[in-house]
A and B are shown apart, each in its own frame.
Chain A
Amino acid sequence: MIGAILQTSFRSLRRDRGAFVMSFVLPIGFFTIFGFVFGSMKGSSTPRVNVLVVDEDHSAASRSLMRALLREPSLQAETHAKPTKENPAPADYTAATAEAAVRSGAAPAAMIIPAGFGANPISFGPEPGAGAARPKFRILHDSADPVAAQVVAGMLQKVVMTSLPATMAAAGSQYFDQQVGGLTPKQRQQMESSMAFLRQLQNDGGADSQDAPSGAPANNSASNSRGFVAVDIQDVVGARKSNPMIAYYAAGVGVMFLLFTSGAAGASLLDESDSGALDRVLSARVTMTTLLLGKMTYSAMLAFAQLTLMFLWAWLIFKLDLFTHIPGFLVMTAVTAFAVSAYGMLLASLTHTRGQLAAVSTLIVLTMSAVGGSMFPKFLMPDAMMKVGYFTFNSWAISGYTKVFWRDEPITSLGPEVAVLVASGAVLFLLARWFARKWEYV
């Protein structure tokens, strides 16, 4: 008896060739995509942190530090914006322009090397007053990326240790001199001799950095006032926000499930085709274009309601500041719902059975959600993966919602997100209409 059931089940699966193939292709395809995406990280599980570096000291020590930051492989440091046609030689960042860039989301962090750093570069603390006397590095960051500031702060301490050997030794000997009650003349002479070598090493270490391109990545990092250098970390975007990542995840998770439900909404076309209702509807005064538009509008309204519920829940439970961002929320929700519902129509018109639709839908949704940032924070992704993410609805929707809820940017700043989502939706709908000809006439 069980054998007969097995036989019937396998025969049915084999007859639905699309579903049959997808049953095996789906997991392999999904695995392959992730293999390529994460495999491209080549052993570096943490991506380079982008940091804008501002030198307000202009001393030899600050220049040495700057050069070392530019060479630090775990950071992608920049001293100025990338050249454009309009501005082929952009000026170096100042504290103000770097902060503005962080606020706009151009980089997750900026590091300001303070004036006076060269005169009193490092301290071995913890003697009273030593930390207070030192000028503090400032790290301005966007807490939407909770990792960047900590990485930058840590790397600053490391770079100080490795790039300023003479400065370190001078400060160390001075500290030692004070603690032991003074060095003998001979000891001082030997110390000076060693210091000459270290100064040469420190300078040599910086010599090659002059060849570095002006737009080359630099980086910075800092820790706190107990390190070799004192650091003040400031959240310039989310300091007054209670829940930094909630808008990100509301959008990310919301879009992922929207993709699932839009696929299911599109599947109603397949059901109606099977039941004969589609034939009956199309033999009335309803055209295929009208039918698709109606189905897509329904799907978009459903998606709009789902996203609205998601953000209302975020407001209620996670204190997301929803009601002061209503215009931006409405715009992003409308365009996201439109794009996702058009995707659902295309999916239905491309497939022939519910089994095929479910398999293709799962593959696409999981892939887009993973690459687009719904399942894996974008700031932890390598550059290549983030670029691939631009081909997903998730990425653009998350970007738009982040602008609205996190950066408090005006609606006008949503231009790229709106344009991409609307254009994508329009193209997908036209493709859906093209493939839906299979239901029109024989």
Chain B
Amino acid sequence: MPSSTETVNPTLRLKAPPLQVESVVKRFGDVTAVAGVSLEIPAGACFGLLGPNGAGKSTLIRSIMGRVRPDSGSIRIFGEPVGSTAARADLGWVPQELAVYPLLTCRENLHAFGRYEGLNGSALDEAIAWCLDWAALADRAKSPVKTLSGGMKRRLNMAAGLIHRPRLVLLDEPTVGVDPQSRNRIFEMVEALRAGGTTIIYTTHYMEEAERLCDSIAIIDHGQIIAQGTKEALVAHTFGSRSSVVMHFGAARTDLAAWAAAHGATAEDSVVHCSVEKPSEIAELLDAATRDGLEILDVTMQRPNLESVFLHLTGKELRA
């Protein structure tokens, strides 16, 4: 990896992509958590990073934050090696956990994290004011964190990660445990950030969030990026023009998996997933099921979405 003291020409830094991950490998004993991941995120993008639990997502995120040292490969933030002062200044992190001081007020928390980021004086005051406004917490500035609602705590958690106005922000499941109203407020905050030109890496277990906010998505599984692109590109690449069909049967039969396989589908308990090019193909499936004595309870057809892609590629529900 490049030395953390290595610096890049200021002109090149302006042109360098916000994040370059090259062939990063990280092992923990016999387990390879990240197996040669390479990524490049363009300026101003909102990049979704999705993956099932244990896929290596957290290790990759912590590597980008400089909290995990990869065994090989390199990570650069605007051309600067991770861990360097310049990279730290350009990178903001909003962790999943509510990593704020519960006994301090909102303003005091922002003041503390601002100081940790090297801010002081009027620059710090301005940053605090901006954060309170951005997070819609100005009227709760003097409230101790422990008195805030869950959504407010989440917003403060986000604001603390952006106090130094980084150009690249990593939002690690920022909506965990918040109600729909607060989630919408957080979406608005993220969209405001994007509008301001900030590059965002967004991880979530909620597919609709990724579909709404992200213009490019990578799916990671077993430590590798197994798919990457826009939502439409991922769907088209995975399913082409086909639509997904879900058939629910009355009772699980031991031969259901074999039946599904014979018709190019997959079975899970009493549910069969398959895809069709034309709706008329559904009638053929229904005839086959009836002929083979399967009790059909329900049939749905939908255009494949990100959830379908994820399920198809990883074999797991995103929220499982």
Tell me the A residues contacting B by CB distance below 8 Å: 275-277, 279-286, 441-442
Contacts and interface: CB of A to CB of B under 8 A. Distances in A.
B17 interface: no
B67 A282 contact: yes
Contacts of A281: 113, 116
A281 B67 CA distance: 11
A356 B142 CA distance: 35
Contacts of A441: 67-69
B277 interface: no
Contacts of B65: 279, 283
A292 to B, nearest CB: 14
Interface in B153-169: 160-161, 164
Interface of B: 28, 62, 65-69, 85, 88-89, 91, 93, 95-101, 113, 116-118, 160-161, 164
Given A277-B100, A442-B68, A442-B69, A284 B95 contact: no
Given A285-B85, A442-B62, A280 B68 contact: no
Contact of A280 (B69, B89, B160, B164): B160
Given A277-B99, A277-B101, A285 B117 contact: yes
B95 to A, nearest CB: 5
Given A275-B97, A276-B95, A285-B88, 14 more contacts: A277-B101, A279-B67, A280-B93, A280-B113, A280-B161, A281-B113, A283-B91, A284-B117, A285-B89, A285-B117, A286-B116, A441-B69, A442-B67, A442-B68
Which 5 A-B pairs have CB atoms at the shortest separation, nearest pair first? A276-B97, A276-B99, A284-B116, A280-B99, A277-B99
Contact of A276 (B66, B89, B96): B96
Contacts of B93: 280, 283
Contacts of A282: 67
A283 B161 CA distance: 10
Nearest to A294: B116
Contacts of A286: 116
Which of A279, A284, A285 has most chain B Cβ within 10 Å?
A284
Contacts of A284: 88, 113, 116-118, 164
A285 B90 CA distance: 11
Contacts of A285: 85, 88-89, 116-118
A364 to B, nearest CB: 27
B119 to A, nearest CB: 10
B127 to A, nearest CB: 13
A279 B113 contact: no
A282 B93 CA distance: 11
13 contacts: A276-B96, A276-B98, A279-B67, A279-B99, A280-B113, A283-B88, A284-B164, A285-B85, A285-B116, A286-B116, A441-B67, A442-B28, A442-B62
Nearest to A278: B99
Which of A275, A276, A279, A280 has most chain B Cβ within 10 Å?
A280
B52 to A, nearest CB: 21
A275 B99 contact: yes
A286 B85 CA distance: 10
Nearest to A282: B67
A205 B180 CA distance: 100
Nearest to A279: B67
Contacts of B160: 280
Contacts of A283: 65-67, 88, 91, 93
Nearest to B59: A442
Contacts of B161: 280
Contacts of B95: 276, 279-280
Contacts of A442: 28, 62, 67-69
Nearest to B94: A280
Contacts of B117: 284-285
B26 to A, nearest CB: 8
A284 B160 CA distance: 11
A178 B218 CA distance: 118
A180 to B, nearest CB: 89
B116 A275 contact: no
Which of B89, B97, B118 has most chain A Cβ within 10 Å?
B97
B228 to A, nearest CB: 25
A290 to B, nearest CB: 9
A280 B116 CA distance: 10
B267 to A, nearest CB: 38
A284 B62 CA distance: 13
A275 B104 CA distance: 14
A232 B199 CA distance: 89
A354 to B, nearest CB: 16
Contacts of B89: 285
B80 to A, nearest CB: 14
A281 B100 CA distance: 10
A213 to B, nearest CB: 65
Contacts of B62: 442
Contacts of B88: 283-285
B60 to A, nearest CB: 13
Which of B85, B96, B117 has most chain A Cβ within 10 Å?
B117
Nearest to A442: B68
Which of A279, A283, A285, A442 has most chain B Cβ within 10 Å?
A283
Contacts of B67: 279, 282-283, 441-442
A56 B305 CA distance: 108
Contacts of A280: 93, 95, 99, 113, 160-161
A283 B160 CA distance: 12
A413 B67 CA distance: 48
Nearest to A281: B116
B154 to A, nearest CB: 13
Nearest to B91: A283
A281 B99 CA distance: 9
A246 B65 CA distance: 54
Contacts of B98: 275-276
A115 B116 CA distance: 75
Contacts of B101: 277
